[in-house]
Amino acid sequence: MADDCIFCRIAAGEVPCTRVYEDDTCLAFMDIGPLADGHTLLISKKHYEFIHEMPADEAAHLGRQIPALARAVQEAMGADGLNVLQNNGHVSGQAVGHVHFHFIPRVPGDGLGYRWPARESDTETLKKQADAIRQRLGT
């Protein structure tokens, strides 16, 4: 547990939350500053700052909760869709340095929008990038 981490303190029961799901290793609760009605967070109880720091089996346990939680959040809010979002690093928008997934229900005209400023690329560039990634994966 990181003493200065708000999500560790929530996981330890030192700071209250509005809980929707809990088991030995993860916890889901309502976001205190929701982007939409029903905005829910899923956290690992153990402190990891970034997703790539998590052991695969612990990340897999979090991942196993995603379909049921996504369905429950979307249906409970009567939403038409849902964004599942996981930020890593300040540059990505991460404000709380403890791994968490956002579940954000979406309805038409909710004003949240969706920014996806796709760029053009070319096969040569994509191949180089894939090579660099594959090298690190060892595949």
| Residue 87, binding choice from Zn ion, ligand AMP, none, Cβ under 5 to 8 Å by partner class | ligand AMP
Tokens standing for residue 70: 């996504």
Measured CA to CA, the distance from residue 31 to residue 38 in angstroms comes to: 8
Any residues with CB less than 8 A from the CB of 9 and at least 6 apart, and which?
A: 15
39 is catalytic: no
Tell me if 32 contacts Zn ion by CB under 5 A: no
Binding positions for ligand AMP, rule: CB under 6 A: 6, 15, 17, 31-33, 41, 87, 93-96
Q: Which range, of 52-60, 63-71, 90-98, 110-118, touches Zn ion by CB under 5 A?
A: 90-98
Q: Scanning the structure block, which residue is given the tokens 């090298």?
A: 135
Q: Beta partners for 28?
A: 21, 42
Name the residue type at position 15.
Answer: V
Number of residue whose CB is nearest ligand AMP: 33
- Dmax over CA atoms of the chain, in Å, equals 52
Closer of 15 and 126 to ligand AMP (Cβ): 15
Cβ proximity to ligand AMP, 19 vs 127, nearer residue: 19
Residue 16 Cβ vs ligand AMP, minimum distance, rounded to whole Å? 8
Residue that the structure tokens 């997703």 belong to: 51
- Comparing CB distances to ligand AMP, the nearer of 33 and 138 is 33
Instruction: Name the burial class of residue 43, with classes exposed (0-12), middle (13-18) and buried (19+) by CB atoms within 10 angstroms of its CB.
Output: buried
Smallest gap from residue 37 Cβ to ligand AMP (A)? 14
Question: Which residues here bind Zn ion, judged by CB under 5 A?
Answer: 2, 5, 7-8, 47, 98
Q: What residues are labeled active site?
A: 100
